[in-house]
Amino acid sequence: EALANQIAAGEVVERPASCVKELVENSLDAGAKTLVVQLEEGGIKRIRVQDDGHGMDEDDLRLAFARHASSKVKSSRDLFRIGTLGFRGEALASIAAVARVSLQSRMAGSEQGYGITVEGSTTKSPVTPVGMPVGTIIEVADLFFNTPARLKYLRTVQTEQARCVEVVQKAALSRPDVRMRVLVDGHVLFQTTGTGNPQNVLATLYGVGEAGQFLRVEGQTPDYRVLGYIGRPTQARSNRTHANLFVNQRPIRNIAVHQAVAAGYGQRLMVNKQPIYALYIDLDPGLVDVNIHPHKSEVRFSEERDLTQLVQTIVRKALDEAFL
Ligand code: ADP
Ligand code: MG
């Protein structure tokens, strides 16, 4: 049973960043408007996520670490329906199988919260009352403490930290209406305002001063609606971590769309430079086929040519208009 849990865990929790992703998604699913993410030693030593979402009651806490405890999505097609990000109720169980986890939660209207601690799938302390604000606090310490092979597979603390931060950056861009603060080893790395404007989030994340530095692009095909904010060519970076693509608010990757953005910049982009952008693609998941593996982020679009042509065109047009 413990071994089965550890094996299953490997599918969900590959590294600290995958852990952060699951925790942040849970907070967003709980309707959080404010989220604080703390990382220590690249998330390997400690990940702490606090939210002001709807919280869990005593019974929820007891069940939270049971596999398939999800009340949410049931099939991969449902992934792109607006609503919840949760998939199969495996995340908390998987994380608890390979770390020391403390989970505390208080529901709105409840006098107090409750806490539980679990280590490698074993309950260390049962559900007990705790004083805390409404919402949920989850701490994941000593990730992979009981699976040394996985621990060895991790990269440097800086690399793992960067991946964790990137996960929250994408969450912040996908939900500009939610305030998010990231602390790394006790220092605030960034903080978004939750005003709902993606341009403000982009300016916060990439430190390019005014939000107005980003150009708005917009258009649609029969299947897709595209809205985006693209950085000036001079702001282009040497890697692709500042390329942000979302489908129905879910961060995804698609090389063809990324290439279409770059093609829209054309000669304006220096060799080996990648533009900063956030592109939001919306579609009707009942009508359009988007293929995605539940734990991977690379997607395939149907009618991809229509989409990439639109993206290239609107990017080029926006740049042409801004820089005659
Ligand atoms: P899933 O998100 O797929 O349902 P998880 O293992 O991630 O599965 O979480 C299990 C359950 O625990 C969730 O369905 C939800 O009810 C509850 N939960 C987890 N995190 C939170 C949170 N931050 N706030 C409120 N409820 C939560
Ligand atoms: Mg979840």
Of the ligands numbered here, which is closest to the C-alpha atom of 96? 1
Q: Measured from the CA of 22, which atom of ligand 1 is nearest?
A: 7
Rg of the chain's alpha carbons, rounded to an integer?
Answer: 20
Kindly give the distance from the C-alpha atom of residue 135 to the centroid of ligand 2, in angstroms, as a whole number. Answer: 15
Same domain for 80 and 146:
yes
* Residue that terminates a domain, selected from 152, 173, 191: 191
- Ligand 1 site, residue 77, Cβ cutoff 6 A: no
Cα dihedral: 237, 240, 244, 247 (round 10): 160
Same domain for 31 and 142:
yes
Which residues, 6 or more positions from 286, have their beta carbon under 8 angstroms from its beta carbon?
A: none
pLDDT in tens for each of the 324 residues of the chain?
A: 566 666 666 667 899 999 999 999 999 999 999 999 999 999 999 999 999 999 999 999 999 998 765 555 555 555 555 455 555 678 999 999 999 999 999 999 999 999 999 999 899 999 999 999 999 999 999 999 999 999 999 999 999 999 999 999 999 999 999 999 999 999 999 999 999 999 999 999 987 766 668 999 999 999 999 999 999 998 888 777 789 999 999 899 899 999 999 999 999 998 888 999 999 999 987 766 666 666 667 788 888 999 999 999 999 999 999 986
- Structure tokens that stand for 312 in this block: 């290239």
Kindly give the distance from the C-alpha atom of residue 78 to the centroid of ligand 2, in angstroms, as a whole number. Answer: 14
> Best substitution site from 13, 25, 26, 110 to test ligand 1's pocket, by max atoms within 8 Å of Cβ?
26
> Residue with the nearest Cα to atom 18 of ligand 1?
26
Do 295 and 12 form a contact (C-beta atoms < 8 A)?
yes
- Ligand 1 site, residue 51, Cβ cutoff 6 A: yes
* Residue that terminates a domain, selected from 167, 191, 215: 191
Same domain for 20 and 52:
yes
What is this structure's pTM?
0.91
Kindly give the distance from the C-alpha atom of residue 184 to the centroid of ligand 2, in angstroms, as a whole number. Answer: 23
Q: Measured from the CA of 95, which atom of ligand 1 is nearest?
A: 6
Of the ligands numbered here, which is closest to the C-alpha atom of 52? 1
ipTM: 0.99
What pLDDT is stored for residue 172 in this prediction? Answer: 98
Same domain for 248 and 151:
no
What letter represents residue 96's amino acid? A
- Strands 299-301 and 290-292, bridge-based pairing: antiparallel
What pLDDT is stored for residue 173 in this prediction? Answer: 97
* Residue that terminates a domain, selected from 165, 191, 217: 191
Same domain for 167 and 25:
yes
Q: Which of 56, 138, 155, 150 is nearest to 102 (CA)?
A: 138
DSSP 25: H
What pLDDT is stored for residue 88 in this prediction? Answer: 64
What domain count does the chain have? 2
Q: Measured from the CA of 53, which atom of ligand 1 is nearest?
A: 24
Helices and strands, counts by H and E, the chain: 9, 15
Same domain for 182 and 60:
yes
Q: Measured from the CA of 71, which atom of ligand 1 is nearest?
A: 14
> Best substitution site from 18, 47, 62, 70 to test ligand 1's pocket, by max atoms within 8 Å of Cβ?
70
Same domain for 22 and 143:
yes
Residue length of the chain = 324
- Ligand 1 site, residue 251, Cβ cutoff 6 A: no
What pLDDT is stored for residue 24 in this prediction? Answer: 97
The domain spanning residue 64 has which CATH number? Answer: 3.30.565.10
- Ligand 1 site, residue 69, Cβ cutoff 6 A: yes
- Ligand 1 site, residue 27, Cβ cutoff 6 A: yes
Question: Domain limits at 125?
Answer: 2-191
Same domain for 157 and 21:
yes
Do 13 and 94 form a contact (C-beta atoms < 8 A)?
yes
The domain spanning residue 242 has which CATH number? Answer: 3.30.230.10
Same domain for 206 and 156:
no
What pLDDT is stored for residue 82 in this prediction? Answer: 47
Which residues, 6 or more positions from 169, have their beta carbon under 8 angstroms from its beta carbon?
A: 190, 205, 244
Kindly give the distance from the C-alpha atom of residue 128 to the centroid of ligand 2, in angstroms, as a whole number. Answer: 23
> Residue with the nearest Cα to atom 27 of ligand 1?
26
Same domain for 207 and 153:
no
> Best substitution site from 5, 11, 22, 29 to test ligand 1's pocket, by max atoms within 8 Å of Cβ?
29
Same domain for 178 and 58:
yes
Same domain for 268 and 146:
no
What pLDDT is stored for residue 80 in this prediction? Answer: 59
- Structure tokens that stand for 17 in this block: 């960043």
| Integer CA distances (angstroms), 291 to 13, 171, 266, 298, in order | 21, 21, 29, 9
> Residue with the nearest Cα to atom 21 of ligand 1?
26
